[in-house]
Amino acid sequence: MGYDKLQKLGVEVMSISTDSVHSHKVWNETELSKMVDGGVPFPMLSDQGGKIGSLYGVYDEEAGVNIRGRFLIDPEGIIQAGEILSPPVGRNPHELIRQIKAYQHHQKTGEVMPSGWEEGGETLTPSTDLAGKVWEKWQPPKDK
């Protein structure tokens, strides 16, 4: 999954860590550029002291680092989703794209996406008539 796919969805990306700007530059030039042609194409911001990480609940004060997290922030600046992972488990870019598409679909239509929704899948229109009757309109997919 590339940055270009996120840009086509109108998403802006930035990374933030407690590392210095110099550390980011060296890391990008010596390692990331070997994984991503030309290096990371989005801003890598420095949060030395963990002020931003503290606001998002990812700063580990004892270790002096921000724990891995990702946040989907809508155009109004509201956090719509967040995921915080410990170092042993990497993030899932496909799930990120699915969530972005779901939130964008909701913003356009007001519809909500049931569990496991994928683009083009069935949605639900919130109403008082739907309460207690979701099961009539939608069933979870059966395991294969």
Which domains, and CATH codes, for the chain?
A: 3-137 (3.40.30.10)
Can you tell me the distance from the alpha carbon of 137 to that of 123, in angstroms, rounded to the nearest whole number? 9
When comparing pLDDT for 78 and 129, which is higher?
78
Separation of alpha carbons 44 and 24, rounded Å: 7
Q: For the chain, give the mean pLDDT.
A: 90
Residue that wins the pLDDT comparison between 131 and 16: 16
- pLDDT given at position 91: 86
For residues 65 and 18, the answer to whether their CB atoms sit within 8 Å is yes
pLDDT one-digit tens code per residue, 1-29: 578 899 999 999 999 999 999 999 999 99
Q: How far apart are CA 94 and CA 101, in angstroms?
A: 11
Q: What is the pLDDT of residue 144?
A: 62
Q: Which residue in this structure is represented by tokens 């109108």?
A: 10
pLDDT at 113 over 70: yes
What's the pTM?
0.83
* Residue 72 confidence class, pLDDT cut points 50, 70, 90: very high
Query: Count of CB atoms within 10 A of residue 113's CB?
Result: 20
